[in-house]
Amino acid sequence: MTTSNIDNVASPQAKGSAVASPAAPAEPKAPAERPYSPGLQGVIAAETAIGFVDGEKGQLLYRGYPIGQLVERGTYGRVAELLWTGEWRKSARLAPAAIPEPVMCALRELPEHAHPMDALRTAVSVWGAWRRPHWPPTVDQARELTAFAPSALAAFHRLRQGLEPVAPNPKLSLAGGFLQQLNGKDPDPAAARALDAYFIVGAEHGLNASTFTCRVIISTRSDLASAVCGAIGALKGPLHGGAPAEVVSQLHEIGSPERAEKWVREAIARGDKIMGFGHRVYRAYDPRAAALRKVAEGMSDMAEWLDTAVKVEDVVLRIFGELKPDHVIKTNVEYYAAAVLQGVGLPPDLFPPTFALARMAGWSAHAIEQASADKLIRPDARYVGPPETEVPSLTGR
């Protein structure tokens, strides 16, 4: 029987079956008829197997593994490999890599007053122009970019101080190597471990602004360097990557636990935002903050500063519970990130780009995943401008 004959055979429904014919597919709605979500809040724009955030329960998983266990039992090298490949390998490590000469030349040309985030973005951009990473992005590209980026940031920091960059030591971890290249001496093991823990908790956090930016760029079949440059640009914004530095300033302003009660009440009365508290996703204690608090408590030289931070935290949470009982406001990761970053000796303007170093693994993992989907991200917009209007005649008044 030919295909045309098969197509002409009557179906059971056509012979008197009570089964109704399938309904025709609905016409797609115009943008104006669809619900609008400012900031895309609540809109599912991707499916991912990389990370899972449960804001109600205060849960964060990387490929199914809880963040607290990853900090306790892992290293950034193992976690990065997990994010890239989905495999947990105890032998995985990530060592600091040398800076390509074109990147070093570009860093030397930057003014001393350049923002460190701009320096890191420039380094990644020059790396992309020199390396010309092809699409789709690969794990090898991700490893190469993630390994040299800390060296580049450390080199810029030394150059702006009038010092020569320090060659990376491949025997060190990525975090330990970063500290060695910043300071020109072997890092304190406890400080290196603390920074490694910070790198782990900063590596991935769902479809945040910078990760979404990275995926949008990759969805156009652009390269990994372009996507990461865009992500760095998004992270540079104070609503995304600048909070830990502001936490330090805030705690210095409070000064002591005894002044916390008055300071917090006055800040809330003015409507000021108290940095390190509240999160767009979490309605429970941020699990990253819990993990970093344990790390900070293990840093002996942070005892006094951490003691102040813990006591101020208790005051803030108590007052929020008293004055805003209907709002669930808990400690977020930036609060104890500030403790760790200050404890390892980083200046505040290096906090955001150090966050970017940690997020390199997550960004590149999402880039690889987005490329495998190979679907252009192109949402619609609702037009709210004037209706169609005739352009005035050139001969009229």
Q: Which structure tokens are listed for 273?
A: 């935002």
Q: Which structure tokens are listed for 251?
A: 């705690």
Q: Tell me 382's DSSP state.
A: -
Catalytic residue list contains 279: yes
Q: Which of 246, 334, 366, 369 is catalytic?
A: 334
Q: Which structure tokens are listed for 277?
A: 């508290």
Residue 297, exposed/middle/buried by CB under 10 A (0-12, 13-18, 19+)?
middle
For 333-347, b where at least 16 C-beta lie within 10 A, e where not — what string? Answer: bbbbbbbbbbbbebe
Distance between CA atoms of 283 and 293, rounded to whole angstroms?
A: 18
Distance between CA atoms of 96 and 105, rounded to whole angstroms?
A: 19
Helix (H, G, I), strand (E, B) or coil at 73: helix
Distance between CA atoms of 72 and 51, rounded to whole angstroms?
A: 18
Angle at alpha carbon of residue 239, lines to 153 and 157, rounded to 5°: 15
For 106-121, b where at least 16 C-beta lie within 10 A, e where not — what string? Answer: bbeebeeeeebbbbbb
Q: How many Cα atoms are found within 13 Å in the side-chain-facing hemisphere of 354?
A: 33
Distance between CA atoms of 361 and 145, rounded to whole angstroms?
A: 9
Which residues lie across from 166 on neighbouring strands?
none
Distance between CA atoms of 198 and 247, rounded to whole angstroms?
A: 16
Catalytic residue list contains 33: no
In DSSP notation, 324-375 reads -TTS---B-HHHHHHHHHHHTT--GGGHHHHHHHHHHHHHHHHHHHHHHHT-
Q: Which of 157, 205, 279, 366 is catalytic?
A: 279
Active-site amino acid positions: 279, 334
